[in-house]
Amino acid sequence: MNLLKIILITLGAIAQFGFAFYNTALAVDINNGAKIFTNNCASCHIGGGNILLPKKNLGKAALSEYLENYDTNSLQAIIYQVTNGKNAMPAFKNKLTEPDILEVATFVFQQAEQGW
């Protein structure tokens, strides 16, 4: 009986955490993410491409290839790249707020999943 109780408590905790994460994700304004992308990213990444290095575009396969940890935590990998930049891509940590970065990263992730 004790084992069953532990399992049920654990499942309840997992369900609560998942629900809390789900609610946070719903709070992201994807339309604002699209606007931020248009104003800050589209000059190099129009339509999910990359005018400087075409192989390093924002398609799902390309992101998986060149973004560290994309396959295990896609959204966090995009947030890290937007925040810190790398090589030709500038860092946006001093230009965009954390909520803005989350929204634009969520937009990029969603577009990559949908194939731009």
Name the band, by pLDDT with cuts 50, 70 and 90, for residue 81: very high
Name the band, by pLDDT with cuts 50, 70 and 90, for residue 4: low
Q: Which CATH class is domain 29-114?
A: mainly alpha
Mean pLDDT of 58-67: 97
Question: What ranges do the domains of the chain cover?
Answer: 29-114
Name the band, by pLDDT with cuts 50, 70 and 90, for residue 23: very low
pLDDT: which is higher, 12 or 35: 35
44 Cα distance to chain centroid: 18
SS (H, E, C) 54-112: CCCCCCHHHHHHHCCCCCCCHHHHHHHHHHHCECCECCCCCCCCHHHHHHHHHHHHHHH
Name the band, by pLDDT with cuts 50, 70 and 90, for residue 46: very high
- Which residue is associated with the tokens 């940590």? 93
Q: How far is CA 20 from CA 10, 12, 80, 95, in A?
A: 15, 12, 22, 29
